[in-house]
A and B are shown apart, each in its own frame.
Chain A
Amino acid sequence: GNSVTQMEGPVTLSEEAFLTINCTYTATGYPSLFWYVQYPGEGLQLLLKATKADDKGSNKGFEATYRKETTSFHLEKGSVQVSDSAVYFCALEETSGSRLTFGEGTQLTVNP
């Protein structure tokens, strides 16, 4: 079956540091890949997505590239801010309209 594995957290960084959160996946087909962000006490917001190999999703300074050869979709940001503190979830959708499979989530804390 499908699965998503994220790097274990929590991750604590200083403001303006570089961020990487690793995500790898297992899927039988060619899934779409997503990063969602969850702020405390809230639901999930789509951060970025990529629908095919070598696509790069980007939003709010965050980027992730769909790497089929390494089955990865690592999230990066060059300079994090305190406001980026949240839980980040990597997810895949095997086919358009099918269910989402989530990773475990990674708690990010950015200190001023």
Chain B
Amino acid sequence: GAVVSQHPSRVICKSGTSVKIECRSLDFQATTMFWYRQFPKQSLMLMATSNEGSKATYEQGVEKDKFLINHASLTLSTLTVTSAHPEDSSFYICSARAYRGPSEQYFGPGTRLTVT
């Protein structure tokens, strides 16, 4: 149990376009989902925390107009990178915390974004 999926696993887009990444909790309902960014050989940087039905809370230094987060249901959150630039290329990982039961975070497999 407690599986989190991400789609797509890899995406290549051209500079100036937008790309949407989905994060789904497959077998549980997630009150809270987190979005992280990971640079090569570095740790995870929390970008934002999203709660179902409310606006996401962004970490300091993260542009909320560039990284749009929507958490429309208890099983789905999306991250849209708008007007992507090569410096947005990174590994994006989401995690989800269950609505009931342990408060443990379950992580998705990540999405590799490359902006050309």
Contact = CB atoms under 8 A, between A and B. Distances in A.
Nearest to A44: B107
Q: Classify the interface of chain B: helix, strand, loop or mixed.
A: strand
B46 interface: yes
A103 interface: yes
A25 interface: no
B34 to A, nearest CB: 7
Contact of A99 (B34, B106, B107): B34
> Which of A89, A99, A103 is packed against the most chain B CB atoms within 10 Å?
A99
B97 A97 contact: yes
A43 B103 contact: no
A103 B97 CA distance: 20
A107 interface: yes
19 contacts: A36-B107, A41-B110, A42-B109, A42-B110, A43-B4, A43-B6, A43-B107, A44-B44, A44-B93, A44-B95, A45-B107, A96-B103, A97-B103, A99-B46, A100-B46, A100-B105, A103-B43, A105-B42, A107-B41
Interface of A: 36, 41-46, 49, 89, 93, 96-97, 99-100, 102-105, 107
Interface of B: 4, 6, 32, 34, 41-44, 46, 49, 93, 95, 97, 103-110, 112
